[in-house]
Structure 1
Amino acid sequence: MTLPTVEHETAAHPRCSIIWLHGLGADGNDFAPIVPQLVDPAWPPLRFVFPHAPVRPVTINNGMSMRAWYDIAAFDLDARQDEAGMRASIGEVETLIERERSRGVPSERIVLAGFSQGGAIALAAGLRHREKLAGIIALSAYLPLHGALAGERDAANGATPIFWGHGIADPVVILQRGVASRELLQSLGYALEWHTYPMGHAVCPEEIDDLRRWLGQRLV
């Protein structure tokens, strides 16, 4: 069963899709307003897919139930990872990719994007996907299941472009966690376009501008 989604098509008969995963406690509506700011009218017709993560208890928020791609025990670098939740969400992304393919958009015209833990799942799913993707976008994120990536990654996305944006004052996913993830990916041969911005755990206009340029190189 496919997750519920918020969708926006920039024109009829989309030729490309961007599957965008929200952060902890938000939902698919969170980044829908970014579409007019991000899209260049010269781009081919696009479908934005903003899925709602499942509702689950989140340990770091006193067990409160909220939309989350996986549980978080702590924001510490060495904290226990919710591997089962992460792998389930990777499976949900695979289902969303397959749905786009069934609607006529091939995988090489699909971009996976996400913010915070949504960006973490975009990375984890994209680097394991068995068919080439157009790109992966990680905003204020980190690489989950990092110890397993070398053995589980798929060569189909070994050269897939990755855009990474991070706030230098991010108090949630600290910059060093992003840097460590970037360095691991680079050690495995991945090419990243890395950007830092004077912000916290957020998205800023300069980042949207950089992302528009990056996407334009891959969607035209």
Structure 2
Amino acid sequence: MLKFVSRNSIKKHTATVIFMHGLGDSGHGWAPVADNLSTILPHVKFIFPHASTSNSEFWDVNAFMDEKGLFESFEKVKQLIKSEIDSGISSERIVVGGFSQGAAMAYLVGLTLDQKLSGIAALSGYVPIHNKIFSMVSEQNKSIRIFAGHGTADPVVRYELGQRSAEELKKNGYNIDFHTYNGLEHSTCPQELMDLANFLQTSLPENSQ
């Protein structure tokens, strides 16, 4: 199973967010976000997996050009989800998310997994191998909630790529809430994190178990 950084829930654990980092980062890079969100999501456990280096990098550019590597990564994320389900968390109380290429992996998992999830959170990301993904989508997640955020000045994953992905998802009947952040480069910002927190509160309400 993938190694990861986790932040346990403050109150009774009834929901989980699995969030994947971008290229060149690690789970440690995003763990502080959970520290900030825990006060408003005290029932949520956060898991930040580290990219595996056994086959290139877990979700790096080369892996995304290589479908075999991409789907090997997918299987490893599925193991994390299974572990949470085995611990007593319903799949419908799990959100998968990520930043940049971690967001691309979140799209792949959330759109094709054969167990119903609560939502997808994609920051500065895109739908990878979109022609193939849309032929593999699972009926269980046709109504999945999707939050996507992207900066207009992103020089790494261009804003237009994220926007086109959102448009393609809408054309295929998905409920996606796409947020634009003017002037933001390949990063996040307080407003985006606030919007993400609102999405997670709606997707994983504390009073639902």
TM (normalized to structure 2)?
0.92
Residue of structure 2 aligned with 1:209, choices 172, 194, 199: 194
Which SS does the other structure have where 2:70 is aligned? helix
- Paired residues for 1:163-202 under 5 Å: 163-198=147-182, 199-202=184-187
Residue of structure 1 equivalent to 2:72: 88
Q: Which ranges in structure 2 are unaligned for 5 or more consecutive residues?
A: none
Mapped partners of 2:141, 2:21: distance in 1: 22
Residues 1:70 and 1:83: Cα distance change in structure 2 (over 3 Å): farther
- How much has 1:37 moved relative to structure 2? 2.3
- Paired residues for 1:119-158 under 5 Å: 119-158=103-142
Mapped partners of 2:4, 2:133: distance in 1: 28
Runs of 4+ aligned residues of structure 1 deviating over 3 Å after TM superposition are 70-73
Matched-pair identity in %: 39
- Opposite residue 180 of structure 2, the aligned amino acid is T
Q: Is 2:1 the counterpart of 1:5? A: no
Residue of structure 2 equivalent to 1:15: 14
- How much has 1:183 moved relative to structure 2? 1.4
Which SS does the other structure have where 2:186 is aligned? coil
Residue of structure 2 aligned with 1:72, choices 62, 67, 70: 62
Which SS does the other structure have where 2:22 is aligned? coil
Mapped partners of 1:219, 1:180: distance in 2: 27
Which SS does the other structure have where 2:29 is aligned? coil
Root-mean-square deviation (CA, aligned residues, Å) is: 1.7
Equivalent pairs counted in the alignment come to 204
Q: Which ranges in structure 1 are unaligned for 5 or more consecutive residues?
A: 59-66, 74-79
- How much has 1:57 moved relative to structure 2? 7.5
Which digits, 9 at most, give the CA deviation of each residue in 1:93-145, with x for residues without a partner? 11110010011111000000100000000001110011111110000001002
Mapped partners of 2:115, 2:124: distance in 1: 25
Residue of structure 2 equivalent to 1:97: 81
Mapped partners of 1:93, 1:207: distance in 2: 25
- How much has 1:72 moved relative to structure 2? 3.3
Which digits, 9 at most, give the CA deviation of each residue in 1:49-89, with x for residues without a partner? 1111111686xxxxxxxx4414339xxxxxx8221111111
TM (normalized to structure 1)?
0.87
Which SS does the other structure have where 2:46 is aligned? strand
Contact 2:55 2:69 in 1 (8 A): no
- Paired residues for 1:2-81 under 5 Å: 2-41=1-40, 43=41, 45-55=43-53, 67-72=57-62, 81=65
Contact 1:71 1:85 in 2 (8 A): no
